[in-house]
Amino acid sequence: MCVFKNGKLYHYEFVLDGRRHRGSTGTADRDEAVREESRQRERLEKSYSQVIEEEAREQRRKTIQFAADEFLTDYRAKHQSATFAEYALGHVSKLLGGSLVVEITPKVVRRYQADRLKEKAGPKTINDEVQLLLRLCGEQGVLIRATLRRDKALKLPLPASPGRPYSAEEKARMLEEAQKLRTPQMRAALALDLNTGLRDKELREIRWEQIDLIHKRALTVGKSKTEAGTGRVIPLNETALAALVEHAAWYTRRFGECRPEWYVFAFGSPLPADPTRPITSFKTAWIKVRKEAGVKGRWHDNRHTLVTELAEGGAGDEVIMSIAGHVSRAMLSRYSHVRLEAKRRALDGIAARQCAADEKRKAEVGHAAVAPR
């Protein structure tokens, strides 16, 4: 509340929803001026609430398809890539596009989950799609989310992670086969991925300006899938450093230099030809490497392997999350596959320490028994 005298009359001034409102109260009486200021505020607040309610009603009258198109227009303007949202909302629109937003209820969401499961979609994919669907529904989506969460039906349970860590022997065989390829690009990418845990897009779009091979011996991740992952700095161990030094030498021979703005893994097939564009995929070379090395697994399992090895080596959760760019321990647990040997070593260590303590106690008891009184 703010009233002040300007000349003979009192005036009011206040801020509502980020906008400043000023005017004359038309009176020289302060008490009456205060009441007038309150009336003006109430009038504007009522008007604002009516506008919000009308917008909400208009939103609910939209179809899911229309709301999805609006959402994607805004999403594309704010994100470098809209592939994730386009894919997820493509399925939402296919099943619910003709429905009005107001028609979406908890029951409709549950039916959507069931229909997508029948289509063999994975639980995580369905969960992502439902989250976007509820965002399309605005305030109504908030209420639906609360109801589903209360009923423990908001998210489908996720199965155990399909990923697997590669053994040291498998890693060695894959790196050896990658070395035999026509271009050293694959070996450098594989060595870097196994020793930094970069996501596929983070790896493909890394530029030379993000890598310091001399002083810090580290790389800085660019735009990432998560806020925690963007801009994180990952030290380069000897394996990753040697692979990048070798790759940089080959890169310089091919393109004349390693310009800071150029991509480390350049576009082109069968040989890199355009360093101003990133490679689109390692898929072809990856299939060949796995086949020749006799290894089964996914490219993403390189990331699983690093996280597992860090966990087995005793690195703390904070260190692992800082390297991998995870945002929660729940997600970290899906990537860490602490192997049987590591579990055995940990439990054997407990037994060994207990035995040592028992022997020490026995020695102390025996020493006390023979000691002169």
What pLDDT digit, counting tens, does each position of 116-154 carry?
999 999 999 999 999 999 999 888 899 999 999 999 999
* 49 band by pLDDT with thresholds 50, 70 and 90: low
The answer to whether the CB of 144 falls within 8 A of the CB of 134 is yes
Residue 51 has pLDDT above 60, yes or no: no
Residue with tokens 């155990």: 160
How large a percentage of the chain has pLDDT more than 70? 91
Q: Minimum mean pLDDT among 130-139, 244-253, 348-357: which range?
A: 348-357
Residue 364: half-sphere exposure toward Cβ, Cα within 13 Å: 6
* Average pLDDT of the residues in 24-32: 88
The answer to whether the CB of 162 falls within 8 A of the CB of 250 is no
- The residues, any chain, with a CB within 8 Å of residue 165's CB and separated by 6 or more, are 301, 304, 305, 308, 309, 337, 339
If one counts every other C-beta atom within 10 angstroms of the C-beta of residue 35, the result is 14
Residue 188 has pLDDT above 90, yes or no: yes
* 211 band by pLDDT with thresholds 50, 70 and 90: very high
The answer to whether the CB of 37 falls within 8 A of the CB of 25 is yes
| pLDDT on residue 1 | 57
* Average pLDDT of the residues in 61-74: 89
| pLDDT on residue 208 | 97
pTM of structure: 0.62
| pLDDT on residue 196 | 93
Between 363 and 244, where is the model more confident?
A: 244
Is the Cα dihedral 181, 183, 186, 188 positive or negative? positive
Between 342 and 349, where is the model more confident?
A: 349
Indicate the average pLDDT of the chain: 87
* Average pLDDT of the residues in 263-273: 92
Checking 27-36 for CB contacts under 8 A at 24+ apart, the result is 30/3, 33/3, 34/1, 34/3, 36/10, 36/12
Residue 11, strand partner residues:
4, 24
Cα-flanking dihedrals φ and ψ of residue 105, to 5°?
Answer: -130, 170
Between 302 and 58, where is the model more confident?
A: 302
If one counts every other C-beta atom within 10 angstroms of the C-beta of residue 212, the result is 14
